[in-house]
Structure 1
Amino acid sequence: MAAKKILENKRFFLRELTIEDVTELGAILQDEETMYAYEAPFTKEKVQEWLHWNLTSYEENGFGLWAIIDKATQHFIGQCGIVYSEVEGEKLLEIGYLVNKRYWNQGYASAASCLCLNYAANYLKAERICSIIRDTNLASQKVASKNGLQVIQTFYKDYSGQPVKHLVYSIDLTTYKKRKW
């Protein structure tokens, strides 16, 4: 059974992750350079947990992080989607993205997160959405800014006893104008 396709543009599509994606997902989540914002690459067990967390989110929420698949090559580029995240006791709707470093600086994160903004505004009828980004992750900050999100809050997230500063970028979707990528 083929994975459910969620969104697409001319260049790629977003589809639900499947158990078969564990190797491609692991190539991203177990890469030290890619995962510096999480303080460490994931173990194989953590990759499995991440995948199952998304599969559960599809069932419970109707959304989660989705695989980014290049239409021309069918390559697994990364993941981007919508999840619930907690910031200082508040449950926020968040756009998250992680792209395999082989595809960095090619516009995948910007375009995929823009598709997710449109989805949140038009399909979920969400009033607000955010991206939670480590303060040193300048590339992700650029993606959020490019899509019209602005910093509204800073907070510290604990990674194994190490408090790490994060920025909450947000956008009001009630005034958001659909964009094309």
Structure 2
Amino acid sequence: MEEKLSNQDAAKAPERIETVRLVLRRFIEADRAEMVRFYGDPEVMSIRKYGARGPEAASAAFDVLKRHWDEHGFGLYAVVEKESGGFCGECGLRYADDGDAGEIELSYGLFPTFRGKGYATEAAKAARDAAMTVLELPLLVARSRGDNTGSHKVLEKLGMTLVDRYDVPGQSHGVVKYELVRTTGS
């Protein structure tokens, strides 16, 4: 079993990344209310691996994502639209909670008002690039609901390859797994 890297063992991801239209930045305490709203939104969570959460569970999930940065030197970013300053959602890297031990997973999700604009692809490309060039990960994985074809398209645009499909007990949609293997010089 592969061991997880601590903050002292690994390179650190940038705490802020700017793209053409977005700012990806490390979460701060002032983001808690937005993330409680995000994790509690049934429409947002309808296409995520987990369903909508109540305020207490959503707040606890926010604590987990903040702690991930402290412990590992990378994590999920708050995604903010440059033009409006609007909070779009989250995107970044984390240790997979339902995958093989030690796998680092690309994760992203946006509020519905920010979908269909290419923001998921733009944010995910920035996170992928940090994973491959700054952290020099040998492998990056992503999982998506089996019925979330929009997410599958984003992952394919990132150069990721579909490697597995599996069922989840009690869910009809299943999960797909994509991988991106770092090549020498990338």
Give the TM bin, normalised by the shorter chain.
0.7 to 0.9
RCO greater where, 1 or 2, for CA within 8 Å and sep 6 or more? Answer: 2
The answer for unaligned runs of 5 or more in structure 2 is 1-13
Describe the shift of the 1:107–1:88 C-alpha distance in structure 2 as closer, same or farther (beyond 3 A): closer
Shift in Å, 1:91: 2.8
Matched position secondary structure for 2:77: strand
Instruction: Name the counterpart of 1:104.
Output: 115
Shift in Å, 1:156: 3.4
Instruction: Name the counterpart of 2:38.
Output: 28
Residues 112-121 or 145-154, more deviating = 145-154
Kept in 2, the 8 Å contact 1:121–1:176? The answer is: no
Instruction: Name the counterpart of 1:17.
Output: 27
CA distance in 2, matches of 1:87, 1:39: 11
Matched residue type, 2:180: I
Matches within 5 A, 1:105-144: 105-144=116-155
CA distance in 1, matches of 2:184, 2:160: 12
Describe the shift of the 1:86–1:171 C-alpha distance in structure 2 as closer, same or farther (beyond 3 A): same
* Identity within the alignment, %: 24
CA distance in 2, matches of 1:99, 1:50: 16
Instruction: Name the counterpart of 2:81.
Output: 70
CA distance in 1, matches of 2:132, 2:33: 32
Kept in 1, the 8 Å contact 2:40–2:54? The answer is: yes
Over the aligned positions, Cα root-mean-square deviation in angstroms equals 2.0
Kept in 1, the 8 Å contact 2:49–2:144? The answer is: no
Describe the shift of the 1:146–1:89 C-alpha distance in structure 2 as closer, same or farther (beyond 3 A): closer
Q: TM-score, normalised by structure 1?
A: 0.86
CA distance in 1, matches of 2:95, 2:109: 16
- Count of matched residue pairs: 172
The answer for unaligned runs of 5 or more in structure 1 is none
Kept in 2, the 8 Å contact 1:65–1:79? The answer is: yes
Instruction: Name the counterpart of 2:5.
Output: none
Q: TM-score, normalised by structure 2?
A: 0.84
Listed one character per residue, the Cα deviations across residues 35-72 of structure 1 (whole Å, up to 9, x for unaligned) are 12345311111211111111111111111111011112
Instruction: Name the counterpart of 2:94.
Output: 83
2:175 corresponds to which of 133, 148, 166: 166
Shift in Å, 1:10: 2.1
Describe the shift of the 1:85–1:145 C-alpha distance in structure 2 as closer, same or farther (beyond 3 A): same
Residues 75-84 or 18-27, more deviating = 18-27
Instruction: Name the counterpart of 2:4.
Output: none
Matched residue type, 2:175: H
Kept in 2, the 8 Å contact 1:70–1:76? The answer is: yes
Kept in 2, the 8 Å contact 1:28–1:98? The answer is: no
